[in-house]
Structure 1
Amino acid sequence: MDNVTHALHGLALYALAATDPALAQDPTAMSAVLWAASLGSQAPDFDFVVRLFGGDIAYLKHHRGITHSIPAWLIWPTVLALVLWIFFPGHFGLLWWWSFLGVIVHVGMDLLTTYGTVAFWPLSKRRYGWDILMIVDVVLWAFGALGIYLWWTGVSPERVLWYTILPSAVYLLLRVAVQFYLRSQVRRFYEKTGLKIGRISVIPFLGMFRWNLVVESAEKYELGTAHLRKGVSIKNSYERKGAEQALAVLEQSQVYQVFRWFARHLFLEVKKDETGQMRAEMADLTFGFSDRLPLTAQVTLDAEGKVLEEKLIRKPDKFRKNDKTNKNHDAK
């Protein structure tokens, strides 16, 4: 999630602490909780320093990586508690606990996004992203703003939590139900077309009704939308043209290694010129919309397979000329 949403969750934890009469009557303890919960809710994203020193490719590899993993769930609270203990002596346990809750909520919310996180390392190296929320969700922002307003007007912490956390939970459950339903509709749609498909992703977009869609088959990738009212609509198709012969030589490329690990739906296109020079273009179709693919990369190799250039490209106008399709299905 975005850092504003994480900050709102830190404030929600502070409100939760305020429901404890013993804490609420101790201003020093409440200040300690505020700092611990606020910093804990942001700490896993301190991996932004990787971009400062390693660039975009390193950041793509490490963002939401080890800083969100199981060991980090314990390391971040310990580090934060040791630092804050200087300012709040005698409250180490309190600082550690509320920092820990901030970290756990942060990681849990990131799991609900498409970008996902390596939350369960070292038990699993897989990046988990459950496709429930966009990185920025204005509905959750609205509930957070409501909570701040209620607190400012003097509403009790218990009521603030009741009026914000409960509707937020209902909202999340509704999104889970909608995604589950749309996935079933996508499966039914392809059963009717007769195309044997593999992995599918139903990805959150603006609002509750329309979701983006990526479908893999042996021959191609198809991109489109899944809509509660309008059904399934396939807009673009990317053919899988057998770039497997170039995979071994591409292993020398750092950006390819990162994409192969990171991309859920990796599209790869390789071209050679008359000199034998090879250019590989790749994209993670998971983040595609319309005919735009905002997360792409290029690798250029000479005739001997030496990497001449590799670069990560963000927000290109168009990745490539794709095959337009127009298949629709009424979900009803």
Structure 2
Amino acid sequence: MDTGTHVVMGIALGGLATLDPAVGIDNPTAQAVMFGTIIGSQAPDLDTILKLRNNAKYIRNHRGITHSIPAILIWSFLITGLLTIFIPESNLLHLYLWTLLAIVLHVFVDIFNAYGTQALRPFSKKWIALGIINTFDPFIFFTHVVGIIIWVLGGHPGFTFLTVYAILIAYYIIRFIMQRNIIHRLHKLIPNIEQIIISPTMRFRQWHIAIMTDKTFHVARSVNEEIIILDEFERIPVPQTDVIKAAEDDDNISAFLSFSPVYRWEVDEFTDHYEVRFIDLRYRSKGYYPFVAIVQLDQDLNIVSSYTGWIFSEEKLRKKLELIPD
């Protein structure tokens, strides 16, 4: 989820914790728990700092080790230990448990996005991405905001957020059923499907879809329960030529390939250089595929320049990176 949603979730958990007799409403433990749930709800996203280095590091590592089982335990111990220094009167066990819950909830809700997490590390490096909830879901965010407003206006925080989470559990179930219905219709519409990747949007009844069959890639959209096929590409395995092998050694390309489950590739040869491009098929927007990895190599297959990330026009891509013009 986005940072704002994780913040309101942390506040909501702090309010929910008031139902715990050891926490209460107005005492040192309640204060410590509120800090613990807010900080804990943000801690796994500390890896966002990798963006300051480059997109390749960020793509390869975001929601990876920081969302793993060992990291969850480390975050919870560190945050609890820090808070007990500043609020020593707090109940250590209950502070730890509510802080741990905030961190676990952060990782858990991220699993429902299309991006996903490596939540099973160190047992598995597989990305778990259920594709049910958009990274920013207006309903989830504003339901929390309404709960916070009710609290500010005098409502009981515990019972208020107990109601909020009952509503959100029902919402998640509805979204799951919607996704399963789309998958069911796709199997009727397209033969020999091997994989379906569904990416929710901020609009409740609109979904991005990428479909892999034995011979083709299909890019589609579901709008108001109607499946619209937007593009179709022949599924051609990436050839292991010298140019491709050299390109795959680049950090930006290797990061893209480690993250993207469905993509097409292009290789162009110009008079003085080669250009290799990988295009993620999950995020079609206004006829354009904005999530790409590109590398340019000279005639000796030395890497001249490369990029991976979001870009919405060819002009901006080449201007930003000062790539060799076509």
Q: TM-score, normalised by structure 2?
A: 0.90
TM-fit CA distance, 1:75: 0.5
Please name the residue that 2:254 is paired with.
257
Q: TM-score, normalised by structure 1?
A: 0.88
TM-fit CA distance, 1:59: 1.0
TM-fit CA distance, 1:79: 1.2
- 1:92-118 alpha-carbon deviations (Å, 9 max, x no partner): 333322221111000011100001111
Q: Distance in 2 between matches of 1:122 and 1:213?
A: 30
Q: Distance in 1 between matches of 2:199 and 2:45?
A: 23
- 1:241-256 matches, within 5 Å, as 241-246=236-241, 247-256=244-253
Q: Distance in 1 between matches of 2:246 and 2:214?
A: 23
Q: Which runs of 5+ in 1 are unaligned?
A: 320-332
Q: Choose from 225, 229, 233 the match for 1:238.
A: 233
- 1:220-262 alpha-carbon deviations (Å, 9 max, x no partner): 3221112444x21101233445541344232311111111110
- 1:25-64 matches, within 5 Å, as 26-52=26-52, 54-64=53-63
Are the structure 2 counterparts of residues 240 and 279 from structure 1 closer, same or farther at C-alpha, using a change threshold of 3 Å?
farther
1:101 counterpart letter in structure 2: L
TM-fit CA distance, 1:218: 4.0
TM-fit CA distance, 1:285: 1.4
Please name the residue that 1:187 is paired with.
187
Q: Choose from 296, 299, 304 the match for 2:295.
A: 299
Q: Distance in 2 between matches of 1:95 and 1:22?
A: 9
Q: Distance in 1 between matches of 2:64 and 2:25?
A: 39
Where 2:86 maps in the other structure, the secondary structure is coil
Where 1:9 maps in the other structure, the secondary structure is helix
- 1:249-288 matches, within 5 Å, as 249-275=246-272, 277-288=273-284
- 1:1-332 matches, within 5 Å, as 1-24=1-24, 26-52=26-52, 54-91=53-90, 92-191=92-191, 196-229=192-225, 231-246=226-241, 247-275=244-272, 277-317=273-313
Whether contact under 8 Å (1:214, 1:285) holds in the other structure is: yes
1:293 counterpart letter in structure 2: Y
Q: Distance in 1 between matches of 2:250 and 2:113?
A: 28
Are the structure 2 counterparts of residues 303 and 241 from structure 1 closer, same or farther at C-alpha, using a change threshold of 3 Å?
farther
Whether contact under 8 Å (1:68, 1:119) holds in the other structure is: yes
Where 1:283 maps in the other structure, the secondary structure is strand
